[in-house]
Amino acid sequence: MRVLVFSTHYPNSLEPQRGLLVQKRAAALARCGVEVRVVAPVRRRIWPLARWNGRALPLRDRSAQLPVAHPTYWSWGRQRLDAWSLFRATRSSLRRLHQHFDFDLVDVHGIYPDAVAAARLSQRLRIPCVITVGGGDLRAPMRDSGIRRQVVAASEQARALVALSASCAEELFRFGVERHKIHVVPDGIEPERFHYDHPLDAREKLGIFSDENLLISVGALEEGHGHAVVIEAIARLRSEGLRASLHIFGEGKEQARLEARIARLGLDRHVTLHGRLPHGRLGLWYQAASLFVLAGSHDVWLQVLNEALACGLPVVSTCVGAVPEIVTPGDNGILVDEPNSDKFATAIHEALERFWNRRAIAAHASRRSWSDVANQLKRLFEASSGVRPIHEPQPSIQSV
């Protein structure tokens, strides 16, 4: 079987951390016998005008594991035009690619503008497409009626839609997608990178020779991700005599405000903003930490929760989106009903007082590999492209 992966979220030489999960899934498909090519368009903004950074992205990435093309499309400053621009910029390259790589299906990642543009392209080429949707992908269509109409049309044309969680599947159903077209296929874990190790051994590898409680949070430094809530919670806990430090990994426009808050609370030696860490190096921090903490007010990045749990790290998180599908209170973490610093301080204190079977947490979270994901997707893709029918029911997220 031949599959074309189409996504604007994919690593490139200028953004090597972008869309890593899409890359991992494509590589897993290739390892299970699917021939894969990748078209990963790169956006350039026309408005607002930005300084050109002088670096050019090659149209093809010959150093990548899979053949990757990077056509450029322009963003005109009005979001509802982005899908049209993406379609216009990629139609000729897809037509040429199809002449020598006769792909059976287009595997699209992202609902807008990716799915809208890819649905038009696949219609022109008379090739079926399958759309993968994450938790936050439906926010733009919900806000803009023009984008919503485009997304509805793309969803109707798609042979199937892959939801990364059961809650995302329910969102798609409420959005108007027929239930029989929705398939829940969560992402997998790399056990060679994310696995249990004794916290003291991991701390020694990191050069941390302290026995104080070490808290980890990962996510963009943006409003709504809840970093300020956790910082305030740490301030309260330390004022009550609890020895704890917080390490935050991520970048974003809220960094200056967070730094000012840390200084105002006198936490310069106890809260560290590390910036973005290469994805593969997070495993050692998860192994060394005492707790993983997320206080986002909307859908959080589920994969960081999965990877932290795969290292045996218990979680304290807001009860939003698909988090309750992953975190079972008392077994692998504690859920908080809202991003409130006092409630998070209480939950963190409770979690630090509790005994957690970290080996059991890691074993449970590591049971789904990328090979499992690829095999499930291969069956779905074969059915969607007419290669062969599916003879088994699609599993819910609780059963994978």
Can you list the domains of the chain with their CATH numbers? Answer: 2-188+369-399 (3.40.50.2000), 199-365 (3.40.50.2000)
Neighbouring C-alpha atoms within 13 Å toward the C-beta of 204: 5
Beta bridge mates, 182: 161
**Angle at CA of residue 62, ends 57 and 66, nearest 5°:** 110
Cis check: omega of the bond before 324, within 30 degrees of 0: no
19: left (phi over 0), alpha (psi -120 to 50) or beta: left
pLDDT tens by residue, 178-226 = 999 999 999 999 999 999 999 999 999 999 988 899 999 999 899 889 9
Q: Read off the pTM.
A: 0.88
Q: For 231-278, write each residue's pLDDT tens digit.
A: 999 999 999 999 999 999 999 999 999 999 999 999 999 999 999 888
Give pLDDT tens digits for 297-351: 776 567 899 999 999 999 999 999 889 999 999 999 999 999 999 999 999 999 9
Residue-level pLDDT at 44? 83
Q: How would DSSP label each residue in 311-345?
A: TT--EEEE--TTHHHH--BTTTEEEESS--HHHHH
Q: Give 349 or 55, the one with higher predicted confidence.
A: 349
pLDDT at 247: 97
Residue 39 φ then ψ, to 5°: -115, 115
Q: Rounded CA gap, 336 and 317, in Å?
A: 6
pLDDT in tens, 150-161: 999 999 999 999
DSSP 231: H
